[in-house]
Chain A
Amino acid sequence: MFSLKLIKKLLPIILKKSFFKYKFKNIWINSEGFVFSTDLLLSLIIITVIIGISADAMDFGNALVGDYSSRATLERCTLEAADILIETPGSPYNWEKMSISSGISPGLAISYNYTNESSSNILSWEKIVSLGKKYSLLVDNKIFSKNIKSSIIIYPFDRRIDPLVLKNDAGSILSSEVFLVNRTVQCNFFSNYTVISINWHQNNCTNLSNNFLQEASDICPHDESNSDLNHMYPQENEYSNYWVCKHLTTSIAELEKTDYYLITEPNPIPIESVYWVIDTVDNISNENNSFTSSPIKLNGQIKDLIGNKNNTTIWIHFLGPEKKFSPFKIFLVGVPKNTEYKYIKAEYFQLQKCSFVLKTWF
């Protein structure tokens, strides 16, 4: 009877122990007490990897975009700067003559004030030289921002003329980002100093009697009825010569600051029978001079013809072949005194095509 009581007392205790065992066995199936499922933990790992890769990709993308936009800025700045320099004359339009450089916006195009139809894309030599001298003041921090360096070189198509270097491009070799703009322009070089220009076989083609609107050339003082000395009547024979006569007005004051030269292209003229005569209305001369040495300086003869008058009109007559030999050109130019001899060549007194090269780099 004592043992039954004990068993009855111990029975619930024994049952409880086995209840715990039962609980322990079912621990894998029971989900109470977990915050994250294992499923979630696995997915968190994958998500972290994805986020890491996309962050890296965004960084890379940023770098690409930054690169692209800085190259695009460089490109756009350079293109627009080239456009503005070539197509506008700058403001004020005669900025090359001013000594102060503040408040000036540079431009290289020729500016025609009133008459003369203005042609596009012709650069003025004075402005190019002036920009070259004041390059750091006018271009470096004004046209481009601080970190962009630039260089401008103008290469004439005609090999006889040296390239005009406004600023050299030595620094661009070390840089990783370089942009270049190459435009074809015309440069007038010394065309402003050309007083008379004759394109010999073109004159042959202007038929003066057809259209009075074409510039009828003036009648020169050699109009004696004696046909040998008359410059007007064309000769009958197609192998004979004819005269082209032009005039220019000058004075003693002009002579003191200008040198007048006669230049031919090609030099020397391949045809022998081309002569020139210089005289005035009152002092007619029939002395035929030939184009031996080129360029021919005319100051001495002009001084003799002017004498002590103030303003004189000088006539220059050219005798050349009628039949179409190889064409040639004659220029009479008036350059400022003491211009260097190397510039007195025919190629400088015409409009020349050039390549305008603007290079920028970081």
Chain B
Amino acid sequence: MDQKGYVMAGTSFLLLIPVILISVSLINFFQGENEIISQSIHSEKVSFAAGDIKRNIPILAREAMLNISLSLIDDNKTINNSTESIKTQLQLQINDLTATYNNQNINVICNVDSIETSPHDPFLIEFDFSLNIKTDNLKHEEKLSRLVSIEGMPDPLPFLKCRSYGSINHDNTRIFYGTSLSNYLESKNMDNSSYYENASSPFIIKKCPYEPYQSHGSNETMKNCQSNGFYHYSKDGSCYLCRLESKETCEHFGLEVFLQPVPVSNSNYSIIIDGPCSSDHVIFGIAPYTGHSLVYDIKNETVFFLFLDEGHGVKYGIN
């Protein structure tokens, strides 16, 4: 070993120190950049999952309500608590949706908190959800509220009320009562219940555009309203959720529709003066009362009429 050799080795060792320092800082820099990119990818995933679920929820909610309603109508079921039934059904469908995300290591929990008819508009049902998304180090919590329209949904109330009194059928737009409605009214000891034999009423809920309702005083308006089978706002009628529970009236802001007696020939009409009031919450109510007959259309010697009491007469502008 030569003494002179150590000097070269020593200084080149000194040179190594800055090299090491520079490489450490470069590696740190690259790692930091990678962390930033990976964080932004995770955050993008979470926000996409949240947006996807928020977009799908109103569609699933409407589907759940429709399935329950159709099971009541076509499969002869009854339910006691419509909110709970819809919640269970909807929760199943949402769990199917969130399962796809759980497979990608994104933990999604979406719970249905409450389902209520909107207090300002009975044609809208308000669904409240809480959404919880979690990945490795990111968390997203949100409470949402969505309004779902019931226009285009079938009305289950007549089926639930009249099923046990006879056979009741429907096609795509109307419900045909056959003898069930007149049997039902007879069981409530109403006079003139035979006028409702072969009655019909609308099957699909549609909102009446003829506002204010006093404009129904004109025969033409009433005729068009009845051919379309529009539903009207009513404080006495029941909201959609209560209709699913077979309640004809409820404390929420509700809907009402007219059940139309079968049109009769001109000569047969002359004997008809009074009959059970045609509003659905009256007929299916605890104590149906009578109303005066009102003609809204005459076609080919056939008379189309309804029974309206004074209260409804005032509401719809009919003298």
Contacts and interface: CB of A to CB of B under 8 A. Distances in A.
Interface of A: 37, 39-40, 43-44, 47, 50-51, 54, 58, 65, 72, 76, 80, 87, 114-115, 117-120, 208-209, 212-213, 215-216, 218-221, 223, 225, 247, 249, 281-282, 284, 309-311, 313
Nearest to B154: A212
B206 interface: yes
Contacts of B212: 310-311
Contact of B146 (A47, A114, A119, A247): A114
A39 B215 contact: no
Contacts of A43: 7-8, 11
Chain B residues touching A, range: 35 or more
Interface string B39-69: 0100000010001001100110000001000
Contacts of A115: 58, 124, 146-149
- The majority secondary structure among interface residues of chain B is helix
B311 interface: no
A249 B18 contact: no
A204 B152 CA distance: 20
Contacts of A215: 152
B91 interface: no
17 contacts: A37-B7, A40-B7, A76-B36, A87-B47, A115-B58, A117-B59, A119-B55, A209-B172, A212-B203, A218-B206, A219-B224, A220-B224, A221-B224, A281-B218, A281-B221, A310-B212, A313-B209
Contact of A47 (B15, B33, B40, B147): B15
B300 interface: yes
B220 interface: yes
B211 A47 contact: no
A43 B38 CA distance: 48
B55 A47 contact: no
B22 to A, nearest CB: 7
A47 B210 contact: no
Contacts, number: 89
- The majority secondary structure among interface residues of chain A is loop
Given A216-B204, A309-B215, 7 more contacts: A43-B8, A114-B147, A115-B146, A120-B51, A216-B173, A220-B224, A249-B211
A213 B59 CA distance: 13
A195 to B, nearest CB: 12
B224 A50 contact: no
B98 to A, nearest CB: 18
A303 to B, nearest CB: 18
Interface in B1-53: 4, 7-8, 11, 15, 18, 22, 29, 33, 36, 40, 47, 51
B15 A39 contact: no
B145 interface: yes
Contacts of A118: 54-55
A206 B81 CA distance: 36
Contacts of A311: 211-212, 215
B58 A249 contact: no
Nearest to A249: B209
A213 B223 CA distance: 24
Nearest to A214: B152
